[in-house]
């Protein structure tokens, strides 16, 4: 059936959601950005 397609689509959407949340949390403009999140593609200057 389409179970595998639905599961892969949901996991892909969840992965994109997590990545976007990590990018949003690693924004230096946010005062509540956690220090534990380390992104390999951080374009911003480290503080």
* Of 20 and 1, the one with more pLDDT: 20
Tokens of 17: 């959601």
Q: Return d(Cα 13, Cα 24) in angstroms, integer.
A: 16
Please check the confidence at residue 12 and state whether its pLDDT lies above 90: yes
User: Average pLDDT for residues 3-24, to the nearest whole number?
Assistant: 90
pLDDT at 25: 78
41 within 8 A of 26, measured Cβ to Cβ: no
φ/ψ bin of 13: left (φ > 0), alpha (ψ from -120 to 50), beta (otherwise) = alpha
pLDDT at 2: 83
For the residues 34-39, what does the mean pLDDT come to?
A: 55
Q: Is the pLDDT of residue 9 over 80?
A: yes
């Amino acid at each position: 059936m389409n179970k595998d397609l639905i599961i892969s689509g949901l996991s892909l959407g969840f992965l994109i959601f997590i990545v976007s949340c990590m990018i949003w949390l690693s924004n230096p403009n946010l005062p509540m950005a956690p220090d534990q999140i380390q992104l390999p593609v951080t374009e911003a200057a480290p503080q």
